[in-house]
């Protein structure tokens, strides 16, 4: 099973794929970020997200996509993140891939056993579960891998 995690963002969107086999074999696929150029017109930045995510999903061919459930960010950023999330949902609909959503608290609980864990604790758990010697960077990619792992643990 290929699970793609997506950490929605407007300036930086994290993605991370894991490949899973029963009973408990997990390996890292691809991970990284889609960045949009600061200062570029909003529509062009959304187009970048659309095109780059379309490529990522097409290459990974996920069986399931997991997205961080939207909650209110800083007010100035909320509308932009919501617009980016709409583009993400459009791309996923075009690929007809199933989607699950988790809140940050659900991810923290699944990976650390504590719903109020610190970000570094979640990142350490991601590295440990995936057998990595270092925490994946940037943080947005590690967050996306955490989402994918949460889906696998809650299958």
- DSSP-assigned letters across all residues of 21-38: ETTTEEEEEEEEEEE--T
Low-confidence ranges of the chain (pLDDT < 70): 71-76
- Catalytic (active site) residue 30: no
* DSSP per-residue string spanning 36-60: --TTS-HHHHHHHHHHHHHHHHHHH
Q: How far apart are CA 48 and CA 44, in angstroms?
A: 6
Domain borders along the chain are 2-153
CB-side exposure of 24: number of CA atoms within 13 Å? Answer: 4
- Catalytic (active site) residue 143: no
Specify the pTM.
0.94
Answer CATH for 2-153 from 3.40.50.1980, 3.30.420.10, 3.90.1150.10, 3.20.20.80: 3.30.420.10
Structural tokens at position 50: 């659309």
- Catalytic (active site) residue 118: no
Each residue's pLDDT tens digit, 111-140:
999 988 999 999 999 999 999 999 999 999
The pLDDT assigned to 72 comes to: 60
The pLDDT assigned to 70 comes to: 75
Q: Per the residue annotation, which of 68, 118, 124, 129 is the catalytic one?
A: 68
């Amino acid at each position: 099973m290929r699970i793609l995690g997506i950490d929605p963002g407007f300036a930086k969107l994290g993605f991370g794929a894991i490949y899973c086999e029963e009973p408990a074999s997990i390996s890292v696929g691809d991970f990284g970020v889609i960045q949009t150029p600061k200062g570029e017109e909003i529509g062009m930045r959304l187009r970048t997200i659309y095109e780059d995510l379309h490529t990522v999903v097409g290459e990974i061919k996920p069986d399931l996509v997991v997205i961080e459930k939207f909650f209110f960010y800083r007010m100035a950023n909320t509308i932009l993140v919501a617009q980016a999330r709409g583009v993400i949902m459009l791309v996923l609909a075009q690929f007809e891939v199933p989607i699950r959503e988790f809140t940050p608290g659900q991810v923290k609980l699944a990976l650390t056993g504590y719903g109020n864990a610190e970000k570094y604790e979640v990142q350490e758990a991601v590295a440990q579960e995936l057998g990595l010697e270092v925490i994946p960077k940037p943080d947005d990619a590690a967050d996306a891998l955490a989402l994918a792992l949460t889906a696998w643990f809650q299958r």
